[in-house]
A and B are shown apart, each in its own frame.
Chain A
Amino acid sequence: MSPVETVIQLRSIAKHYTMGGEGFYALQGIDLDIYLNDYMAVVGSSGSGKSTLMNLLGCLDYPTDGQYHLKGMAVASLDENRLADIRNREIGFIFQNFNLLPRASALQNVMQPLIYRGSPLAERKRRAEDALAMVGLQDRMHHVPNQLSGGQRQRVAIARALVTQPAILLADEPTGNLDSSTTVEIMALFDQLHDDGQTLIIVTHELDIADRCRRVITLKDGRLISDVANSATVISHAKGVGAHG
């Protein structure tokens, strides 16, 4: 077996919040390695720190303690502009509430991240059209978000996250606002992406979604309490924390 490439490495990560004079840890002592083409579900009860973890991974937030290495780079040492560049190039973030730009069309939404890496208009357009075609929205490109259904909006968001060909796709409860049949469609899309080699981390509290993933980690009160491989077809990682199935 060839050595597996580590995309993300977390060591002793903690996130501390102070509210009204009282402090508590939303995350504590997290050690985690995420490998190339991982298809990982993050589960845990509400308030267990799943979103906090995703925001740290997505470089939208920073840990109060611990080390985060992304493709070998120590994230804590990077300045604002480098972080912006990482959010742009390495990370595709999908939100529960889609977070589309409300006045921009589907196409413009998908083109937007390419502006920040300096792609010329024609190239932006071509790549955004390809990404929208991939999620099956080629004939909804000029609709603005409120002319689209929930499932369609999430597809736009997925196309927008993928258009930059990020190292890692982060989805925080991507189907939380969708009905069950749309959920199945979106999950099929994620399966497809995994098959194509994409690294995915998906936060969910739905068991059937977690079941589709190849690896499931569980958070409880800001701590990592289990890390299991879901299927025998997947390589079991040598360095994973917790039990291996």
Chain B
Amino acid sequence: MANLGFKIIEATRSASQSIAAHGLRSFLTTLGVIIGVASVIGVVSVVQGFSASITQEFDGMGTNVINIESYTPRKASLQGLYATLGYDDMIEIKHRVKGISNVTPTVSICGSNAVISYRGESTDTMVVGSASTYQKLYAVYPEAGRFFNLSDDKSRRRVAVLGPSIITKVNIQGDPIGQYISISGEWFKIIGIAEKRGKLFGFDQDDFILLPYSTTRALLGGAEEPDISIGLQVDDMQMIEQIKQQLKNVLRRNHNLGKDAADDFKIATANQMLETFNQIIGSTTVVLAGIVGISLLVGGIGIMNIMLVSVTERTREIGIHKALGATRFDILLQFLIEAVFLCLLGGLIGLVLGFGAGSLISSATGLPEATVPLWAVFLAFGFSAGTGLIFGIVPAFKAANLDPIDALRYE
């Protein structure tokens, strides 16, 4: 098929000359494809950047972590009955469920935000009470100082581990370790600063304060037990389904739930969260595919339209080519390659513009860096070329089937 290769090379050469000869028109012709590919690549690059950093985040969290939270069914919440998880639930789990470790209670103060102040500077932040196992479970290790330990918890010491953003938020001068900070009007000694984790979805993950659980409990006061969440680690991932079932049994029994009653808690694994996230990404991709389809259809029709005009315009020229010995196939190939070439050019411009727009959006909104995966590049070019082929075929056949003498006589 050396002959076909030769023909393709020659057709490409002359297609590029023809495209260059009509620079502005060629550009306008491919505008549909450019916009289509650019918008898709723009969105894909942002979503992929997102997705890559989320996946990384989940990996850091560990897929063997299970989180349990209270869950109030809608019907109950209408009756004013709110489900809670209590410290006793955690104790039960610790004692009854085997094959787990680092069972950790977490309670947040004042809903989620508490007022903190330091030397006249005040702001609010997320204050969370938890156990010493928190650091192992969620891999929040101190950058400076230390994490609180069992004895801090037991003696309800007023000690705090700060997320690194707090230092700048309240403008702590000098070494923070050993200094005091006020949380909801009570004074706490800073014993540790957590490692920096950066932003996710535009949220600062370093804007928090961790306190020992029992200290927090005392701070909250009141007779009513707070609603906590429980985190734990599964030792053997093979066992995760059995452990989830055991957790469910223990909690249902502890909550005295009847046979027909729904769970008043939710058990979530990091894997599940990742799956949910992937589902969201998946459906975004489907919507994107729709956009690609529509924009390439519109772009393709535009190309077909202009190519048909161009065939009419070049009727005489086609006649000359035929008089010089061009076969139907030569003419067909020439016009098809011209259409594909135009679309690929549009695809390339669209790719560059889309990636540029994606990067701009990501950096302007503080989202993770935009990335264009290789599959998206191939897909963009593949679809562009396909559009050229499909919508170029009608004009190409029209050109190829021209009768030499009719074409030469065309005025």
Contacts and interface: CB of A to CB of B under 8 A. Distances in A.
A117 B330 CA distance: 11
A234 B354 CA distance: 74
A118 B325 contact: no
Given A101-B317, A103-B17, A60 B324 contact: no
Given A99-B320, A99-B408, A88 B328 contact: no
Interface stretch (A30-38, A79-87, A180-188, A236-244): A79-87
Interface in A79-134: 80-81, 84-85, 87-89, 93, 95, 99-104, 112-113, 115-118
Interface in B301-334: 316-317, 319-330
Given A60-B408, A99-B408, A115-B10, A87 B321 contact: no
B160 to A, nearest CB: 77
Nearest to B407: A60
Contact of B320 (A55, A101, A117): A101
Contacts of A89: 325
A145 to B, nearest CB: 11
Given A60-B405, A60-B408, A101-B320, A85 B325 contact: yes
Contacts, number: 61
A99 B322 CA distance: 12
Given A80-B328, A102-B317, A103-B21, A87 B405 contact: no
B408 A88 contact: no
A58 B324 CA distance: 10
B6 interface: yes
Nearest to B316: A99
Contact of B323 (A58, A81, A117): A58
A164 B325 CA distance: 10
Interface string B379-411: 000000000000000000000000011001000
B3 interface: yes
A84 B10 contact: no
A144 B400 CA distance: 26
Contacts of A61: 404-405
B324 A116 contact: yes
A95 B330 CA distance: 22
Contacts of A116: 324-327, 330
Interface residues of A, number: 27
Contact of A113 (B21, B325, B327, B405): B325
A53 B319 CA distance: 18
A58 B10 CA distance: 25
A228 B320 CA distance: 33
B6 A118 contact: yes
B322 A112 contact: no
Contacts of A95: 408
A73 to B, nearest CB: 16
Contacts of A88: 324-325
B408 A87 contact: no
B16 to A, nearest CB: 12
A58 B323 CA distance: 8
A160 B408 contact: no
A175 B404 CA distance: 23
B21 A112 contact: no
B405 A55 contact: yes
Nearest to A100: B320
B325 A60 contact: no
Contact of A87 (B6, B323, B329): B323
Contacts of B328: 80-81, 84
A222 to B, nearest CB: 17
Nearest to B18: A103
Contacts of A87: 322-325, 404
Contacts of B323: 58, 60, 87, 93, 99
Contacts of A55: 405
A38 to B, nearest CB: 21
B408 A84 contact: no
Nearest to B20: A103
A213 to B, nearest CB: 23
Given A60-B404, A61-B405, A87-B322, A81 B317 contact: no
A104 to B, nearest CB: 8
Contacts of A60: 322-323, 404-405, 408
Given A60-B404, A118-B3, 6 more contacts: A60-B408, A84-B327, A89-B325, A101-B321, A112-B321, A116-B324
Interface of A: 55, 58, 60-61, 80-81, 84-85, 87-89, 93, 95, 99-104, 112-113, 115-118, 160, 164
Interface of B: 3, 6, 10, 17-18, 21, 316-317, 319-330, 404-405, 408
